[in-house]
Amino acid sequence: MNRPIIRLFGLFTALFAVLVLFTSRWSVLEAQSLTGNTANRRPLLEQQKIPRGLIYARDGTVLATNHRLGNRQTRRYVRRYPTGSLFSHAVGYSFIERGRAGLEKSEDGILTGKANEFASLVKELSGQQQGDNLRTTLDPRLQDAARSALGGRRGSVVALEPATGRVRAMVSIPDFDPNSIPGNFDALNSDASSPLFNRATQARYPPGSTFKVVTAAAALDSGRFTPSSVLSGRNNKPISGVPLQNFGGEDFGAVTLTEALTNSINTVWAEVGSDLGKRTVLRYMRRFGFGSEPPIDYPREQLAPSGVSEPKPKRRM
C-alpha cells in the first residue's frame, strides 16, 4: 500500500475518532447536564405528552392537576392549579414556557413517573406512561389561616410538626397565581414586590423569640443554669451596655428560667446568652441547624441557609 493511501486512511480514522468522541460527549458524558439545562426545552416538550401525577394536600385537596389539549398525535397536557395562589410557593409551577419551580421541580422524577427507572421503562414500552401522584403534608385550613394572619403584609409563615418536622403550612406574601405564569411571568418577575421570591425558604429574617429555645438548650446543657434558676426580668435592663426592652414594655421581677420562657421575657434570655458567650451560642445554633439548608423536599436553588449575618461595612466619607 503506497504512502498517500496510508495517510488518507489515517486522516479518515482520526476524523471518525473525533466524531465518535464528540457524539459520545454530548449523548453520554454530558447528557445529564444537557437535560437539566434551562435552555433545553426538549425534555419539557416530551413531558407534555405524559400526564403528570396529581399533587394532593394532607386532606386530599387537589393542589395540581392536568388539562388535556388536542387528540392522538397532538395530545398534550397542561398543568392547572385549582387552589390558585394559596399554595403558589410551596407547590410551584410546571410550564414548558417557563420551566418548573417548587415541588413541581424538586419532585419532578415522581410526578413524571421516572423515579423508578424500571417501572418507567415498562410504562413507556407499553404506551401507558404517566406520572405518579404526590401527597404532601400541607394543610389547606392552616395555610389559609396563616395567609389571613399576615393580612397582606410582606413576610412568611411556616408551621411545622415539632415531633416530625413535617411542613403543615408554608406561606409567602406577596404570592402569585401559578395558572397565570405562562402569560404573566415577565410582569411577575419584574414586579418590585418580588412575588416569585419565596420568603419562607429564601429570605433571611431574624429568628425572633424562637431563638430563646436555642439559648435555653445551651443554658441547661452548660450546667450553669437550671429551669429553676432565678434572674431579673425587669424592662430596660442594660445588656452589653445597651438598655433592652421587653415586648410591650412589660416589666417583670425575679423569675425562673421556666417562667422566662413561658412569658418570652427578652431581658432574661439576652442576659443568659451574654453570660454563655458567643462561641457557646454559635455552637448550639449549628446543632439546631443554623447555617445549613433546611432538610425539606424543595429545589436547592430556592433554599437559603440561616446563620449569622455579617454587619455591612461602614462607608467612608
6-10, 125-129, 218-222, 284-288: range with lowest mean pLDDT? 125-129
Return the C-alpha cell found at 270.
439576652
pLDDT of residue 30: 60
pLDDT digits (tens, 9 = 90+) for 74-94: 788 999 999 999 999 999 999
Judged on CB neighbours under 10 Å (0-12, 13-18, 19+), 144 is middle
Say whether 208-287 and 39-203 share the same fold: no
**Is residue 51 within 8 Å of 64, Cβ to Cβ?**
no
Q: How are the residues of the chain apportioned to helix, strand and coil, as percentages rounded to the nearest 5?
A: 45, 15, 40
Q: How far is CA 10 from CA 3, 19, 21, 22, 268, in A?
A: 11, 14, 16, 18, 83
pLDDT digits (tens, 9 = 90+) for 295-312: 888 898 888 888 777 666
pLDDT of residue 228: 96
pLDDT of residue 34: 60
Residue for grid cell 453520554: 28
Q: Which CATH number fits domain 208-287: 3.40.50.1100, 3.50.50.60, 3.40.710.10, 3.10.20.30?
A: 3.40.710.10
Mean pLDDT, to the nearest integer, of 218-224? 96
Is the pLDDT score of 47 beyond 90?
Answer: no
- Distance of alpha carbon 68 from alpha carbon 130, whole angstroms: 13
Residue 264: pLDDT band with limits 50, 70, 90: very high
Return the C-alpha cell found at 313.
461595612
Beta bridge partners of 78: 67
Write down the mean pLDDT value for the chain: 86
Angle between helices 278-287 and 266-276 (to 10 degrees): 100
Is the pLDDT score of 101 beyond 90?
Answer: yes
For the chain, the domains span 39-203, 208-287
Mean pLDDT, to the nearest integer, of 44-49? 71
pLDDT of residue 150: 94
pLDDT of residue 187: 95
**Residue of 114 and 261 predicted with greater confidence:** 261
Residue 277: pLDDT band with limits 50, 70, 90: very high
Name the strands in the sheet holding 76-80, side by side, starting at the edge strand that comes first in the sequence: 76-80, 62-69, 55-56, 134-135
CATH 3.90.1310.10 fits 39-203, yes or no: yes
**Residue of 216 and 305 predicted with greater confidence:** 216
pLDDT of residue 276: 96
Task: Just list the catalytic residues.
Answer: 209
Mean pLDDT, to the nearest integer, of 102-131? 73
Residue 33: pLDDT band with limits 50, 70, 90: low
Is the pLDDT score of 230 beyond 80?
Answer: yes
Is the pLDDT score of 125 beyond 70?
Answer: no
pLDDT of residue 80: 97
- Give me the half-sphere count of Cα atoms (radius 13 Å) on the Cβ side of residue 165: 6
Q: What is the pTM of this model?
A: 0.74
Return the C-alpha cell found at 105.
421541580
pLDDT of residue 285: 94
pLDDT of residue 273: 95
Residue 114: pLDDT band with limits 50, 70, 90: confident
pLDDT over 70 percentage in the chain: 85
Is the pLDDT score of 317 beyond 50?
Answer: no
